[in-house]
Structure 1
């Protein structure tokens, strides 16, 4: 469907492990055999055995809902059947929201929802609804807003009690099954709420109406009457707030628990870029104007912003959040040292972190950062990639320690006892030094201790007692020096050890795989692979991105209405086979549009731009606030009467908010299509969040990237040449070697741009010079002289970037 130029390079084979490959013999880089992978059911029920109970969730496709299909609770999915039952029987709705790789969701299921006595209480007094928050973020968002407003916090599992007309009454997160430490348990809470509904029903209904009125009032977001540009002051405030939270010893922004939050890297990298180009511009102006004032740019801030990110990313890659055997990153670190992770792996983390490591590589030219990006992408391709082209959502943190275990433990798939490592690695020694075994090298390099390397305060539940989380505190040179061997022998030995251990780990029960494919997260992953094809110069990654785009268009898109669906599922022939379709939300549109724009800059197939524009038009129609004084995007469309709040997301966290990504998309589309109304929409959107951006911009670092893009006009790079010619590819390689966050990039030969020729009049004026592919770089509304030498183009981009 979509066509991409080929770099005619040998594709790197996916590997289970990517050390500094410059030290490795080529024969060790190979495909990984996963034929011995063992699967287990999520609840621990033996495969093929008949469950004692069966509820309405058995008809669903969400892995999370199916996990609860055999609970003694008479669960219903979110929908009219449950709503009608609650109204007819005049019962409170118990709404439980979670996701399939949520550790405490599993705990609450095991303790309460698999308990028949608690099941009987729920079935007698309530109508129980189970929601997968990743399938239905609209439902989750409404009631999480209520939880946060009333308790100051939130999380999953989320437990909320609603009136039959869906208004919230009371809520919380995890509840222990029985009374503990003076706190009522889940069973006690159920009995109290049921009693209150019987005795004080009218009071509870009035309270629920007051709650909804307060939520509606407090969540309304309009444009400010002060049409003040959000500029340099807010940018500097965001940098200052973020740098004040920086951990100079271990990296990261904030204390434990530490989340990677790639949106922070996005801001800091772009802040670095803005400051260095501003500084360069001032230096040029100063040289042209004798006696000009000294540069006002802070010489240190831009370099400090970069160094904070590089230190954080390098430390994360060495520590326990990085799966040193299986690749990919775990969700977050429970401590400030990046040592003991929460072991689940989320697709959106892999997508965003891959981009962060590629950005860091472009800015630093440090090959080790490119290696980490490759590792992430190879992990996703191997373990989260459906054969149809889409990407699965997550791998669980919990798994069975052995095949005969009855209870799961967090991290069981990933951690090691020293004795097990010694058993697997002690039989092989170094030819050059027979007294040293693979175990000696591996255990020293990865901080393995006899009694485990996890302190009690890092493991309050004792699940990791005696276990080792693999972590590098030194480096290859330090390990080699400690053992008195050379670095090449050390690297080769570590690779062999990892190969042995990875194959051994495959014999363990694997964590549960959430094989739900979410459009928004697939859009993020599409961006990562598209960027990798450019930055890492590997056509294999580009082709994975193309297949992902084709998958989304085939399985998650309705060409008749130009609308998206939220989810597809493993082995589905078509998303429409779901009993009830879930329409796409704002993030599905925004993240996919970003992915398509990134893929265009790897393929230069203008059908990608056309589809992105069509999706933007649909997003505007469904989600844009066109009320008086309104602007920005609601997270949900206006056509669902069961969603009581239409909210505009205004926080960049584990994922960027769809409003932040949309602002960036609108700016880029305005440049590609020469369509100024899109830029004005971006300004109006930013103005809607004006107060938050001015006071606490650290809450919206991705949106601050859009602010910076408006501050600095985009760089327009046009390459006149044939898509598949070697001279065009050489110029593109130069462009992709530079970090240019605010740009458009077009390859044109006069034939392949029928659509863009109607939008960008400049394309018809471009021509090759001396019969060679020629680059035209336009900045600050001025085009520089054309160049057809990669060396000259590199010099120009290096100078213009500061």
Structure 2
């Protein structure tokens, strides 16, 4: 019999609707029942594309004996972290305070008031991998609840104190003075880049777009060769490896090895949006054609496989199909030959590293670029790639999480805008507009704020700091791409609302009027995407340049003072805030005057060049444009710094010289 989750719209929750577990969605009903029955609450957090979430579900939640234990001794709640990142953040910190790394599935046990007393991630059904069995955990915690509750209360108090300590540890302190903290961080990132394979650290290896973005920003102004070399090594090795889908485009979430060879196959919208922007920006710096091919193929993947018909983008694709991880993506020599025949199969196997031994399970191979090819060979491989892609399309596809999430869509919009500016491909701008219009029309609350998630016609959960901040920046990017003034106006309204809802001596992740939880998180550090705090600062700084409103910059400066010391000590966790600091130290406003059609060469000069600290507007759209006019009959560009503008320029070549200086 289906449980309560069958009534939910979340794809992840619905995956558990047939479990024999008496699941509740997060809500008052579950906690009321826990209070009435005096039972502890088991909270399980995951997401639809999570491989180990599927494993634990199959091993434990579908196990009748374990489900019976859960139902008899606990009230059980399922949470989709994509709908409720606030709950995920709060309870991930429990696991981190216990000395573990965190991750998904997240398994936390809390009181009927939501206060945590124990946590972990994946538990096998019986003891193995050095982890206790889930049944053993359930029995032990149930016994402790019934017989040693004062000990659990002590645990609760320690965790509640720990929340305060974690927040206080990041705030204040003496920030460095006199140095160039963003540049020092960028140099440290470059020094610590894997000298062979790029990226940071050993296995598993994740893309870190925010870190590489900071390095690229600093390179733009310092021209230090090691900075660009570190980005180039990472971008090249990622796209040669199996983390990149060589047939269909797009990136998987991470690589299980240090060489980017074998991915964890799930594809997330937030990764692909950020990586499109990073590759487009790097292309604008270097003109490297291979990077343009990567971001264009990634956009093709997103528009083909993750796009809602009305314009928004779905959240992710699963790692698994037919009950196995990676089945959709891997190949054997026999499978290649069945599609291509000889000798094309031999050539494709050599190009993509397909061998009888394989690099994955059961002798299969994750495709990667095994050899360098000349231009003729590349053209030949492209034709074979299309045939292999068509054959792969007939396989059983991985599941797709059709949640549409505001913040992740905003990251994709930013990627599309960067790609449009880099190439002039109108489809990218059109797709960005359609996605933004989808969000503004279907995910706007009565007070003008945003909902977090939308599925099947229903918008759910009031939005968080990320949702408002990411979309505000995406709307500014959209304005700077196509100069539709309504996007700039919407961005300013969102930032004003963001300050009203989330500001209280700094930014909080949850709104003031939001659900009262055991802790109100700030969450200033970057994760797999930039933090909402640093992204809010970017929006404030950009709008300050366009509107002249000093209150925006004052709030941004306050955040720098709050987290400056922490960012200097831990640039990896604050790379996007350091990028905002870099922007704040050298902003450039480019104001265009004249007819928009006639000014197209000036616009293109700015769009095609990489200038990470600039804002761009037409004079009639922004307060800073007052008094800026064409020069005679010619459109003109005014380059302004510190509210002082240079003499207008009328040629694209002269403006490009300013932009690249």
Which TM-score bucket, shorter chain as reference?
A: over 0.9
What residue is the counterpart of 1:420 in the other structure?
335
* 2:641 equivalent in structure 1: 779
What secondary structure sits across from 1:131 in the alignment?
A: strand
More helix by share: 2
- Separation (CA, whole Å) in 2 of partners of 1:350 and 1:592: 16
Aligned 8 A contact 1:230 1:693 in 2: no
Q: Distance in 2 between matches of 1:124 and 1:453?
A: 45
Q: Distance in 1 between matches of 2:131 and 2:627?
A: 75
1:654 alignment partner, SS class: coil
Q: Does 1:767 align with 2:629?
A: yes
1:224 positional shift: 2.8
Paired residue for 1:617?
496
Cα distance in 2 between the residues matched to 1:746 and 1:645: 41
Q: Report the secondary structure of 2:581's partner residue.
A: helix
Who is 2:239 aligned against? 317
After TM superposition, give the deviation of residue 343 of structure 1 in Å: 0.5
Alpha carbons of structure 1 residues 705 and 183: separation in structure 2 relative to 1, 3 Å: closer
Alpha-carbon shift at residue 622 of structure 1 (Å): 1.2
> Per-residue CA shift, 1:223-280, capped at 9, x if unaligned?
5375x5766342344134323321111111222211111001111011112324xxxx
Q: Is the contact between residue 97 and residue 162 of structure 2 (CA under 8 Å) also seen in structure 1?
A: no
Aligned equivalents of 1:519, 1:104: Cα separation in 2: 25
Question: Residues of 1 paired with 2:568 and 2:473: CA distance?
Answer: 26
1:183 positional shift? 4.8
Quote the residue 1:365 is aligned against: 287
The one-character-per-residue Cα deviations of 1:691-746 (angstroms, maximum 9, x if unpaired) are 2122222321111011112222x1111121222x1x31111111112111111111
2:649 & 2:231 partners in 1: Cα distance?
Answer: 34
Q: CA deviation at 1:179?
A: 2.6
Q: Which residue of 1 aligns with 2:391?
A: 504
- Residues 309-353 of structure 1: CA deviation (Å, up to 9, x unaligned): 012101111111110011101111111111011100000000000
Aligned to 1:253: 200
| CA deviation string 1:33-87 (max 9, x = no partner) | xxxxxxxxxxxxxxxxxxxx31110110000000000000000000011010000
Residues 795 and 208 (structure 1 numbering): CA distance in 2 closer, same or farther, change over 3 Å? closer
Give, in angstroms, the shift of residue 303 of structure 1: 1.9
Q: Which residue of 2 aligns with 1:403?
A: none
Q: Do the aligned residues in 1 keep the contact of 2:171 with 2:566 (CA within 8 Å)?
A: no
C-alpha separation in 2, matches of 1:123 and 1:542 = 51
1:528 pairs with one of 410, 415, 432: 415
Matched, 1:600 2:479: yes
Q: What is the CA–CA distance in structure 1 between the aligned matches of 2:474 and 2:14, rounded to whole Å?
A: 31
Shift of 1:142: 0.7
Residue number in structure 2 paired with 1:649: 523
Is the Cα–Cα contact under 8 Å of residues 39 and 75 in structure 2 kept in the other structure?
yes
**Alignment partners' CA distance in 1, 2:232 and 2:177:** 28
**What is the distance in 2 between the residues matched to 1:120 and 1:63?**
24
Alignment of 1:37-76 (within 5 A): 53-76=1-24
Q: Distance in 1 between matches of 2:404 and 2:260?
A: 29
| Mapped pair 1:88 → 2:36 | yes
CA shift, 1:651, in A, is 1.9
Greater CA radius of gyration, 1 or 2? Answer: 1
How far, CA to CA, are the matches of 2:500 and 2:612 in structure 1?
28
The answer to whether structure 1 residue 466 and structure 2 residue 363 are counterparts is: yes
Q: Within 5 Å, which residues of 2 pair with 1:120-199?
A: 120-180=68-128, 183-199=131-147
3-state SS of the aligned residue for 2:104? coil
Q: Tell me the equivalent position of 2:591.
A: 718
Pick aligned residue for 1:394 from 289, 311, 316 = 316
Match of 1:709 in 2: 583
Match of 1:12 in 2: none
Structure 1 residues 643 and 221: CA distance shift in structure 2, 3 A: farther
- Ranges of 4+ aligned residues in structure 1 off by more than 6 Å: none
**Residue 590 of structure 2 is aligned to residue 728 of structure 1:** no
Structure 1 residues 684 and 388, CA gap change in structure 2 (3 angstroms) = same
TM-score, normalised to structure 1's length? 0.80
**Quick one: distance in 1 between partners of 2:170 and 2:50?**
35
Q: Is the 8 A contact 2:267 2:317 kept in 1?
A: yes
Q: How does 1:299-698 map to 2 (within 5 A)?
A: 302-400=224-322, 408-426=323-341, 437-454=343-360, 464-477=361-374, 487-488=375-376, 490-558=377-445, 560-569=446-455, 571-572=456-457, 574-575=458-459, 581-625=460-504, 630=505, 632-698=506-572
* Counterpart in the other structure of 2:209: 262
**Residues 1:789 and 2:660 aligned together:** no
CA distance in 2, matches of 1:204, 1:624: 34
**Structure 1: any 5+ residue segments left out of the alignment?**
1-52, 277-301, 401-407, 428-436, 455-463, 478-486, 576-580
TM-superposed CA distance for 1:144, in Å, is 0.6
Q: Secondary structure, in 3 states, of the residue corresponding to 1:582?
A: strand
- Secondary structure of 1:698's aligned partner: coil
Map of 1:241 onto structure 2: 188
The residue correspondences of 1:93-104 to structure 2 (distance < 5 A) are: 93-104=41-52
Q: Quick one: distance in 2 between partners of 1:85 and 1:194? A: 16
Alpha-carbon distance in 2 for matches of 1:157, 1:636: 23
- Superposed displacement of residue 782, structure 1: 3.8
Q: Which moved more, 1:602-611 or 1:211-220?
A: 211-220
**Residues 607-647 of structure 1, C-alpha deviation per residue, up to 9 Å, x if partnerless?**
1111111111111111112xxxx3x2111123345411112
- RMSD, aligned α-carbons: 1.7
Q: 1:451, 1:466 within 8 Å by CA — same for their partners in 2?
A: yes
Give the count of matched residue pairs. Answer: 661
> What secondary structure does 1:232 align onto?
coil
* Structure 1 equivalent of residue 152 of structure 2: 204
- Give the stretch that moved more between structures: 341-350 or 199-208: 199-208
Q: Distance in 2 between matches of 1:107 and 1:223?
A: 39
> Normalization by structure 2: what TM-score?
0.97
- Write the mapping of 1:272-291 to structure 2, written as runs, cut at 5 A: 272-276=219-223
Q: Is the 8 A contact 2:42 2:107 kept in 1?
A: yes
SS of the aligned residue for 1:71 comes to: coil
- Relative to structure 1, is the Cα distance of residues 98 and 225 closer, same or farther in structure 2, using a 3 angstrom cutoff? closer
Structure with higher RCO (Cα < 8 A, 6+ apart): 1
> Alignment partner of 2:141: what SS?
helix
Q: What is the CA–CA distance in structure 2 between the aligned matches of 1:181 and 1:517, rounded to whole Å?
A: 36
Distance 1:376 1:231, change over 3 A: farther
Equivalents in 2 of 1:343, 1:545: separation in Å? Answer: 26
Kept in 1, the 8 Å contact 2:350–2:370? The answer is no
Cα distance change on mapping 1:213 and 1:492 into 2, 3 Å: closer
